[in-house]
Structure 1
Amino acid sequence: MASGNAVVVFSVSGCCMCHVVKRLLLGLGVGPTVYELDQELGGREIQAVLAQLLSAPSSSSPSPSTTTTSAAAQMNAAVPAVFVGGKLLGGVEKVMSCHINGSLVPLLKQAGALWL
């Protein structure tokens, strides 16, 4: 699903952070492919996999706040998940960080999502 298009956003309808990422990309002139996981068959399973992917770079020992976090909160942390050029870019923090430091537009150009 993520490699079929230049930019793919896994989202949940009604999620404000998902809305922010989608609006940012649209504002830059990118038309991302959006999968609303609460409306997709197997969306909960996809969301669980995304939660694992997005948490992979963190340390192997869980923090106290992680161990007490509910399963629903962990699932919501999995969105938005943004893939650029078939590779996981990250969630809202990573997308915004790349936008602020100026690296997002070159990534989008390299993936073929922007031509100018």
Structure 2
Amino acid sequence: MQVAKKPSGISMDPTNMAAESAAGKMLAETMSPPIPYEMVRQLGACNTVVVFSMSGCCMCTVAKRLLFGLGVGPTIIELDEHVAGPDIQAVLYELAVDGQQPIPAVFVGGKFLGGVETLMAWHINGTLVPLLKDSGALWL
């Protein structure tokens, strides 16, 4: 009685091993995490309202409560709980206007609105609600 050998699926041929290694390297390169700027851009573009926040920040709480109070359900990214939080925060520092705190950072309709000062100013002068309606965050 003879037993048929099953192929192991792993080739020990050096040329095939090199090809598999190159394919694995290319796959690893394409699956590498996106750079922080791209992450911020994608999150801002794919969500109607995004708030980059720190969980213990009182100004972040003010921004989130204002938006929730208006009936908006923003996507909230807590940077102190995110694996790429420090890198994202560095990108937000670059986006912030001189003298403004970069956290919280609010994006509406894919565009960087600013921090809590800008959010509050837009709310007080009456332009925040129309902006939220135009972006699709409010339906009323």
Tell me the TM-score normalized by structure 1.
Answer: 0.81
Q: What residue is the counterpart of 1:21 in the other structure?
A: 63
Q: What residue is the counterpart of 1:87 in the other structure?
A: 111
Partners of 2:104 and 2:85 in 1: CA distance: 13
Where in structure 2 are the equivalents of 1:1-116 lying within 5 Å?
1-55=43-97, 58=98, 77-116=101-140
Partners of 1:37 and 1:2 in 2: CA distance: 15
Give the counterpart letter for 1:52 in structure 2: E
Q: Is the 8 A contact 2:119 2:128 kept in 1?
A: yes
Q: Greater relative contact order (Cα 8 A, min sep 6): structure 1 or 2?
A: 1
Give the share of equivalent positions with the same residue, in percent. 65
Q: Is the 8 A contact 2:102 2:114 kept in 1?
A: no
Give the counterpart letter for 1:8 in structure 2: V
Partners of 2:53 and 2:121 in 1: CA distance: 19
Partners of 2:83 and 2:133 in 1: CA distance: 31
Structure 2's unaligned 5+ residue stretches are: 1-42
Segments of 4+ moved more than 3 angstroms: none
Tell me the TM-score normalized by structure 2.
Answer: 0.68
Partners of 1:42 and 1:83 in 2: CA distance: 18
User: Deviations for 1:20-43, whole angstroms, at most 9, x for unmatched residues?
Assistant: 000000000000000000001110
The size of the alignment, in residue pairs, is 98
Q: What residue is the counterpart of 1:63 in the other structure?
A: none
Q: Which has the larger radius of gyration?
A: 2
